[in-house]
Every structure is written in structure tokens, then in C-alpha cells.
Amino acid sequence: MSARMQDVAPEVTDISREPKHIQEMYGAEPGKRSFANNALLARRLIERGVPFVELFHESWDQHGGLVGEFGRTPMTQGGTDGRDHHPNAFTMWLAGGGIKGGVNHGKTDDLGFNAVEDKVHVHDLNATILHQLGFDHTKLTTRFQGRDFHLTDVHGNVVKPILA
């Protein structure tokens, strides 16, 4: 990390410097761990020129006590208020980074269980993300046990219809 970035990092990560109305708009609470705080921090990083930001929150993956969560099966798990993982279809939200805005790609059956149109394999998703980061996934390898492996195995096609 450059000295310039090290000097700026404490200022960028201190969301308490945001005006109160912005903190309230995000639902952020400085000093606590929350998705709202992560979203506000992501905005601050983007405003300062960080080209790629991934939002992650450890409590995102829940199985019970749900009032709604995208990317889950319609079947219950953990009683009557839970959802299980999608084994045959997934939902991904991509924004910025050269991705078309407001585009839905693919379709599931009526239960949301199986992908039925414009299927995207996880290798395709990874190839697309790597492409948008400026990498050719077919040339990007990692050595493991004396053999070079592509990060997308021997598969993966860039999903061009979602690119801006």
C-alpha cells in the first residue's frame, strides 16, 4: 500500500465523519458491524477513486427468521420461516464496473428452483468478473501441485449481454 493510501485510510474508514443525515439514510451506526456501515464505507471508497469494491457481511447467509431474501429456494428450512440454498440457480447483483444498469439476465422456472433461460455457469460469472477487471481468464493461472490451473478451470465464457 502506498504511503498516500496509508495516510488516507483512517479518514476513509471513519464513517462517523459523515453527516448525521447520511448516517441515518444508510442506517449506519459508527462503531458497530453492520451491512449499512459496509455500504456507507463502500460509497466512501468509491468516491475516493477505489476502482472495485465488494460488499460482504457475515450475517448475509441466514436460514431462519427470514421475512425475505433473494437467491433462496421457495422451500423451507428450519421450520416455517427459513429458506435453503439454491442448488440449480443463483441470483447475483452486479453494479458499475462496466455492467449494464437495469438488466435482468436469465430466468428461472416458476418456483425459482431451476435456471431455464440464458443460463450462466459460475465459471462464466467468474470469467466475466475477471474480464471486467482487465484479465483474460484463459491466461490467468495458478500453480497447484506442479500443475497450472485456470481460475475458471477449462470453462468459462464472458457473459457479453450484460456488459455496457
Low-confidence stretches of the chain (pLDDT < 70) are: 1-7, 57-67, 69-85
| Contact criterion met (CB below 8 Å) for 5 and 25 | no
User: Which pLDDT does position 20 carry in this prediction?
Assistant: 96
Distance from C-alpha of 115 to C-alpha of 44, rounded to nearest angstrom: 36
Distance from C-alpha of 64 to C-alpha of 39, rounded to nearest angstrom: 24
User: Which pLDDT does position 82 carry in this prediction?
Assistant: 60
Instruction: Report if pTM > 0.75.
Output: no
User: Which pLDDT does position 103 carry in this prediction?
Assistant: 92
Distance from C-alpha of 133 to C-alpha of 23, rounded to nearest angstrom: 30
